Structure formats: structure tokens, C-alpha cells
């Protein structure tokens, strides 16, 4: 399974073992260059078990390559279990945890492979920060035995967009999307499928209009805020469906008509929604969503968080996505 691309998604592909073509819209493509972590084709499997038939013959780890005091091998394995434990085909071995010239910064080397293809062994290298909370590989990412907990807590309190599904947030799915993004439109059937397969999930829609490439997206977002205010969550999702369906009409000439029509089909007064959409309150709501995305380092759409675990929604095959949701739901109890 090819895991890496020439974009920012290379690191996420490595982390989730999914085919990740360059699908998601990017706000500033120049900032999404490929991480320089030493990565090869790293296939799939769970925590590092003892070698058995059908598993790769990893070379012995040299104790001389474990020179750093932190992180411990146990922490690295716990971290990788959080990332890869959803897939029982993946096996790995922590090969080295070494000091670097930077005080407190350690270099971690991991070997990984698939049981179904044990001869093909890939390597992954990354650096961990002195506080033990982050890894660095061009991108800064959460690290530790529970790397997604902080993001999960932030989303539980800060993701306040229109919602549906279960009332509780034990399984929390948060999508950051742009109404003018073609790939967000393509992702909506995947969202519907997830909510059908996981009726216990609480789903939240957060606006992330990429105005540098989608000039009508911000207006569509504020309009949606007002539809939700006037008609509630059900009205919002009817509005969202209509806007995505008629996305080609979000042009300077036709956007107003498209948004008014979507509001009417959602069952709210289009004139009231239109007037509200220009209000400071509507704009501040969208801006709050933008700030939340910024705090979470999300700058492309569609992006999905699963109990704090973020990934590019359109870039993960559905069966892999489903396994990740199942794993997070079980793991986060």
C-alpha cells in the first residue's frame, strides 16, 4: 500500500497507513511541503509483538542506540499503538532512541511492516521535544502515550457548530469544511455513511472558509450560521446539503440567489437569513471557528477529527476510516 505523497499529507499517511493522494483543498499550498522525516513505504499492524510466522524478521535493536533518557521505549510503543493499533496487520519495532545535539531533543527510529508482506520493511524517524508532548518532522504533532487527548478536550468544549447524532460526546466527530470546496462536497456521502454506521457518534460541522481561493465561502458560512440560528440544527444540515449540491452556482453573480434558495429549502425566511448573515454576530461565529482551526493547525479542507485524532477526510479509504473510528471509540472509553 503506497503511503506517502509529495504534500503535507505524507506524514499523516505514514501515521494512519492510508492511501493519501493530494485531494484535500489547501489554503496555502507552499506550507504543505512533504515532511523530511526519513520515511519509506511503511505498511500496517498493532503493537510490537514477539516475532511469529508471517511477521517480518526485524534486525536486532542495538542497545547502544538507546542513549536518550526520554522518551522511553514503552512511551514510543504506546504512541504507535494509538496511531496504528486499529490495524491488526501492522507490526513494528523501536530501533533506536538517541540523544541529539539539541538538549532534550531525541531522535526516534522505528521499523515497521505488514504481516501480509513481511519482507518489505520500512523505516520512520522523528524527533521528540524536551517536554515529551510533541514530535517534529517538518510538522509538529502531538506525541505521548495519549497524543490526542488534549485536542479531544479542546474540541469537546470549543467545537460549537451545528451538530447531529448522539447527544453525548463520548465519540466526537468534528468536520472542518468549506462550502465552496469541491472535495468537501465529495466528502459529504462519507460523513453520512459514518453517521449511519456509528449512531453513537456526535457530529459537529465547523466552518473553515478558505477565502484566498474560495471568495464566496465566507458568505456561505455566515449564511449557514443564521440558518442554524433561525431554524436549528436540522435546518442547517438541509441548507448545507442544498449548498453543496448547487456548489457550482456559488459565483459572484449567483451566490446570493443560491444561498437564499438553500435557506428557503431549509424552511427558514431567506430574507431574515440574508440580513443576519451580514451581522457582526454571524461573522464572529465564523471567525471563532476559524480561530479554532488555527489553534488546531488545520488549514485544509475537508478535515475530520475523531476524538481528537485529525486526518484529511477525503484521503482515507472508507474501510480504513471505519476501523479508525471503531478503534478510537473503543480506546477512548
d(CA 227, CA 204): 15
pLDDT interval class at 24 (50, 70, 90): very low
Q: Residue 28: is its pLDDT beyond 50? A: no
Q: Which pLDDT belongs to residue 266?
A: 98
Residue linked to cell 508482506: 117
Mean pLDDT of the chain: 87
Residue 27 in contact with residue 299, Cβ under 8 Å? yes
For β-strands 303-306 and 202-207, DSSP reports them as unpaired
pLDDT interval class at 98 (50, 70, 90): very high
Q: Which pLDDT belongs to residue 91?
A: 95
Q: Residue 182: is its pLDDT beyond 50? A: yes
**Domains located in the chain, CATH noted:** 36-145 (no CATH), 152-295 (3.40.30.10)
Per-residue pLDDT tens for 197-207? Answer: 999 999 999 99
Per-residue pLDDT tens for 263-314? Answer: 999 999 999 999 999 999 999 999 999 999 999 999 999 999 999 999 999 9
pLDDT interval class at 12 (50, 70, 90): very low
Residues found in the chain? 333
Per-residue pLDDT tens for 218-243? Answer: 999 999 999 999 999 999 999 999 99
User: For residue 204, how many other CB atoms are within 10 A of its CB?
Assistant: 22
Task: Count CA within 13 A, CB hemisphere, residue 184.
Answer: 30
Task: List the beta bridge partners of residue 122.
Answer: 112
Q: Residue 143: is its pLDDT beyond 70? A: yes
d(CA 207, CA 220): 9
Residue linked to cell 499492524: 45
Amino acid at each position: 500500500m503506497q503511503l506517502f505523497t509529495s504534500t503535507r499529507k505524507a506524514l499523516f499517511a505514514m501515521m494512519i497507513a492510508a492511501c493519501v493522494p493530494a485531494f484535500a483543498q489547501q489554503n496555502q499550498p507552499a506550507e504543505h511541503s512533504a515532511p523530511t522525516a526519513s520515511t519509506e513505504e511503511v505498511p500496517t499492524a498493532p503493537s510490537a509483538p514477539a516475532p511469529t510466522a508471517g511477521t517480518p524478521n526485524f534486525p536486532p535493536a542495538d542497545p547502544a542506540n538507546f542513549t536518550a533518557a526520554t522518551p522511553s521505549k514503552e512511551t514510543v510503543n504506546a504512541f504507535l499503538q494509538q496511531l496504528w493499533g486499529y490495524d491488526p496487520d501492522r507490526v513494528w519495532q523501536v530501533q533506536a532512541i538517541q540523544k541529539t545535539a539539541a538538549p532534550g531533543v531525541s531522535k526516534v527510529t522505528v521499523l515497521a511492516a505488514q504481516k501480509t508482506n513481511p519482507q518489505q520493511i520500512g523505516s520512520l524517524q522523528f524527533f521528540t521535544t524536551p517536554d515529551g508532548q510533541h514530535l517534529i518532522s517538518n510538522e509538529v504533532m502531538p506525541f505521548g502515550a495519549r497524543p490526542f487527548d488534549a485536542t479531544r478536550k479542546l474540541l469537546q468544549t470549543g467545537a460549537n457548530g451545528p451538530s447531529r447524532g448522539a447527544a453525548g460526546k463520548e465519540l466526537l466527530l468534528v468536520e472542518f469544511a468549506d462550502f465552496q470546496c469541491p472535495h468537501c462536497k465529495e466528502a459529504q456521502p462519507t460523513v453520512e455513511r459514518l453517521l449511519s454506521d456509528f449512531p453513537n457518534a456526535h457530529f459537529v460541522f465547523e466552518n473553515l472558509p478558505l477565502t484566498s481561493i474560495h471568495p464566496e465561502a465566507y458568505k456561505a458560512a455566515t449564511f449557514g450560521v443564521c440558518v442554524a440560528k433561525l431554524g436549528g440544527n436540522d435546518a442547517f444540515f438541509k441548507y448545507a446539503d442544498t449548498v453543496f449540491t448547487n456548489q457550482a452556482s456559488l459565483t459572484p453573480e449567483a451566490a446570493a440567489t443560491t444561498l437564499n434558495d438553500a435557506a428557503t429549502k431549509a424552511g427558514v425566511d431567506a430574507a431574515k437569513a440574508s440580513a443576519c448573515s451580514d451581522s457582526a454576530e454571524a461573522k464572529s461565529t465564523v471567525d471563532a471557528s476559524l480561530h479554532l482551526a488555527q489553534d488546531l493547525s488545520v488549514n485544509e479542507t475537508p478535515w475530520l477529527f475523531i476524538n481528537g485524532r485529525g486526518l484529511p477526510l477525503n484521503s482515507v479509504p472508507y474501510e480504513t476510516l471505519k476501523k479508525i473510528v471503531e478503534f478510537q471509540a473503543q480506546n477512548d472509553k
